[in-house]
Amino acid sequence: MTDVNWTKPAGWMASFFRQFFIQGSWNFRSMLGSGFAYCMIPLLRRRGLSGDALDEAVRSHMGTFNSHPYLVGIALGAVARMEDSGTDAETIEKFKRAIQGSLGGLGDLLIWGAWLPATILLALVLAWAGTPPWVPVGVFLILYNAGHLALRWWAYSQGLEYGKDVGVRIRGAELSRLAERAFSGGGVLLGILAGVFLVSHLVGEGAVVLWAFAGFAAFGLGLKFGHRALRSTTFVLVLVITLIMALGNA
C-alpha cells in the first residue's frame, strides 16, 4: 500500500474542492452517494489505484449516503484515512451509515437553523439603519460564506486527522453550543427589527432610536431569563409580528 502523507495539502486539496460539487449528482436512490464517490477519486488515485482496481474502489462508495454538504468533509476525510490504513469495505460502510445522521442533523441546526438566519437578520438591521444597499448585501455574502468555508475546511481536516475516531472530536467541538449562540444572536436581531418596525408605525420615526435601545435591553434580559417564560415570550413575539403585518397592509 502506498504511504500517503495526509498532512500535505497536495495530497487532498483536489478532493476538498470537489466537495463544492457533491450535490451535483444528488438523487433519490443514493442521495449524496455518487457525489461522495466523486470526491474520493483523487484520494484513491493517490493510493496508486488505477484501472479496474480504481473502478471497484469508486463503486464501493456509491451506496446511499446523506449528510449536510458543509459537514460531509468529516466523513470524507475519515474514510480517506481509513482507506489508507487498509480498513475493510464493510467497516467503512458501517462507519458512513453511523455518522451520516449526526452530520445531517448538526449541519441543519448550525447552518440552516442558526447561521443563515442570523446573517440575513444582520443584513436587514444594516439596511434598516440606512446604510448604502451594497453594505448589507456585502456583509451577508462575506459573513455567510466565510462561515461555511471555514466550517468545510475544519470538517475535512478533522476527518483526515482523526479518521474513524472523528466522532469523539465532533462531540468535543461543541458545535451544538455554537449553533445555540448563533440562534440567540439571530433572536436578538429579530427582536430589534420587530420592535423598531412596530414603533415606527405607532409613534413615528423620531422615537425609533429610543425604542431600539429599549429593545436591546429587553432582549438582553430575554436571553438571560427568557427560558423561564418561553410560552409568554413566544406569544408576545407572534403578536408583534401579527401587528406589523396588519399595519403594513393598512
SS3 annotation, the chain: CCCCCCCCHHHCHHHHHHHHHCCCCCECCCECHHHHHHHHHHHHHCCCCCHHHHHHHHHCCCCCECCCCCCHHHHHHHHHHHHHCCCCHHHHHHHHHHHHHHHHHHHHHHHHHHHHHHHHHHHHHHHHCCCCCHHHHHHHHHHHHHHHHHHHHHHHHHHHHHHHHHHHHHHHHCHHHHHHHHHHHHHHHHHHHHHHHHHHHHCCHHHHHHHHHHHHHHHHHHHHHHHHHHHHHHHHHHHHHHHHHHHHHC
pLDDT at 6: 45
User: Does the predicted TM-score (pTM) go above 0.75?
Assistant: no
Question: Both 166 and 197 in a single domain?
Answer: no
| pLDDT at 45 > cutoff 90 | no
**Domain tally, the chain:** 2
Regarding whether 205 and 167 lie in a shared domain, the answer is: no
| 59-63, 115-119, 127-131, 241-245: range with lowest mean pLDDT | 241-245
Confidence band of 2 (pLDDT split at 50, 70, 90): very low
Q: Let me know if 236 is exposed, middle or buried by CB neighbors in 10 A (0-12, 13-18, 19+).
A: middle
Axis crossing angle, helix 72-84 with helix 33-45, rounded to the nearest 10:
40
Does 245 share its domain with 193?
Answer: yes
Residue with cell 409568554: 232
Residues 158 and 48 in one domain: yes
- Whether residues 122 and 244 fall in one domain: no
Q: Give 62 or 182, the one with higher predicted confidence.
A: 62
Residue 56: is its pLDDT beyond 70?
Answer: yes
Domain ends where: 141, 173, 205?
A: 173
The confidence score (pLDDT) of residue 42 equals 87
pLDDT in tens, 109-168: 888 878 888 888 888 878 877 788 899 899 999 999 999 999 999 999 888 888 888 877
> Considering the chain, what percentage of its residues have pLDDT values greater than 90?
16
The last residue of one of the domains, among 110, 145, 173, is: 173
- Whether residues 189 and 209 share a domain: the answer is yes
**Whether residue 125 sits in one domain with residue 202:** no
pLDDT, tens digit (0-9, with 9 covering 90-100), for 177-226:
776 776 666 666 666 666 666 555 555 555 555 555 655 665 565 556 55
- Answer yes or no: is 4 within a domain: no
Q: Which domain holds residue 71?
A: 9-173
pLDDT, position 213: 62
pLDDT per position as a tens digit, 152-186: 999 998 888 888 888 777 766 666 677 677 666 66
**Distance (Å) of CA 34 to CA 107, 156, 164, 186, 196:** 20, 18, 21, 35, 48
